[in-house]
Amino acid sequence: MSLITTRSPVTLRQTFSFYVSARRPEVIRRVSELADAVVVCGSSGPSVVQDLRAQGWDGVAVLFDRGAYVANASPVNPVAWADEQESAGADRILSPGCFVAWGDRVPSFEDQVGAELERMVSGATMVLSIDHRWLTKSAGFDTMKVALRQIDAPAALVLADTGDPLGHPGAVNALIALTTTIQGLSVLRTDHGGIGALAFRAAHASLGLTTGHRHAVPPDEHAYAKPNDRSKRIFVADLMDWFTSQTIAGWSTTRSSPSCRYECCRGARVDRFFDERLADQADIHNETVLAAIANEVLRAPTESQRRYFGAMCARAVEKYGPMGNLVNEIVPKRQLTQWAQFA
C-alpha cells in the first residue's frame, strides 16, 4: 500500500472539520462547503464517500474514524481498514482506534496503547480515545504526555466521559499542555472546545454536530441527557455554548441577543428553532456559526489566536445570569470559564 494520501495532509495544518455519521451523506455534502475537511465516522464511511465521489462530489479533504473504541465495536482488520480509507481518497490514514481506560486495575497507558501501535500500518495516525482522568490526574497526565511524545506517529485524541470531558477542573490546561508540546496532535469528535485547541496549536480539530459526536463515552458507562427536554440543541454564539431550543424559548432578556447575526439566519431569532418543523434550518445554523467562529479564530495572527479565543469566551461569560427572571438563570459551564482565563 502506497499511502500516497498521507504525504502532505491538509488535516495536519491547523485546520478544522465537522464530524459526521456515514449515515448522513447529505450532511457530508453540506458541511464540506464550510470546513477544511470532513471526518466521517463508522465502518461504511469509505464506501459512502466513494459513492458521493461517483455522483460528482469533489468536496474537501476527508478522514475516516472507524470508532473501534466504542462499546461493542466490531473486530477490525487494520490493513483492510487502511486500504478502504486510501481507496476512498483519505487525507491521511487513521488507525481503527482504541480506548485507554483509567484505574488501578488496568494496564499502563503505554501497554494499552501498545496493541494499537502494533496493528497500525506504516504512516498512519494513531486514534486514542482516553478517559478524561488521563487529563485531570497529574500522575496519569505526565505518563500519557511522555508516551505520546515517544510515539513515532501523529496522534488523534478522542476525549471520553459521560458528560463534558473538558468540564473537569484542569482539563483545558492539560489539553493545552498537549497541543503546545506534541507536534501533529489532533482532537476528534469534540465540541467547540476544539476551536480552543486549534488556537493553542493543535494540528486539527473535528467538531461534532450532535450530542453523541461531541465526545466519546467510556465503553462501560452511559451518557446522560437533559431530563424532560428532547428539543433541538442550538449553538448560541453570544454564549459560546449549546442550549436546547426549549431552554432558549424560555428566555426573555436583552442580556444575550435573541438574534443570529450570521448569514444562516440574517438577524432572525434563534428561539424560532423550538418549532420542530425548523429542525433542518437549526442544523444549518449550528454548522454555519461554528464554522464562522473557527475561521475567525484561525484568521487571527498566529501569536494572537489563543487570546482571541479566550476573549470570545470571556465576553460570553459576562452575558450569563438571569435570562428574564430568576427561574431562567444560566451559569457558564466550567469548560467555558477555563477558556475565558486566557483572554
Task: Calculate mean pLDDT across residues 263-274.
Answer: 94
CA–CA separation, 153 and 56 (whole Å): 33
- Please indicate, yes or no, whether residues 247 and 128 belong to a single structural domain of this protein: no
Total structural domains in the chain? 2
Q: Kindly indicate the confidence band of residue 158, based on its pLDDT and cuts at 50, 70 and 90.
A: very high
pLDDT in tens, 162-210: 999 999 999 999 999 999 999 999 999 999 999 999 999 999 999 999 9
- Please indicate, yes or no, whether residues 181 and 330 belong to a single structural domain of this protein: no
- Please indicate, yes or no, whether residues 247 and 160 belong to a single structural domain of this protein: no
Classify residue 278: in a domain, yes or no.
yes
C-alpha cell belonging to residue 267: 438577524
Classify residue 313: in a domain, yes or no.
yes
pLDDT in tens, 220-255: 998 877 778 889 999 999 999 999 999 999 888 666
Give bridge partners of residue 269 from the DSSP assignment: 259
- Please indicate, yes or no, whether residues 141 and 170 belong to a single structural domain of this protein: yes
HSE value, Cβ hemisphere, 13 Å, CA-based, for 317? 17
CA–CA separation, 172 and 169 (whole Å): 8
User: Residue 295: its pLDDT value, please?
Assistant: 98
The phi and psi torsions of 100 (rounded to 5 degrees) equal -105, 105
pLDDT at residue 1 above 60?
A: no
Task: Calculate mean pLDDT across residues 5-27.
Answer: 91
Domain extent for 263: 233-340
- CATH number of the domain residue 203 falls in: 3.20.20.60
* Ramachandran assignment for 126, one of left (phi > 0), alpha (psi -120 to 50 degrees), beta (any other): beta
What are the residue ranges of helices labelled H in 12-63? Answer: 25-31, 45-54
- The answer to whether the predicted template modeling score (pTM) of the entire model surpasses 0.85 is yes
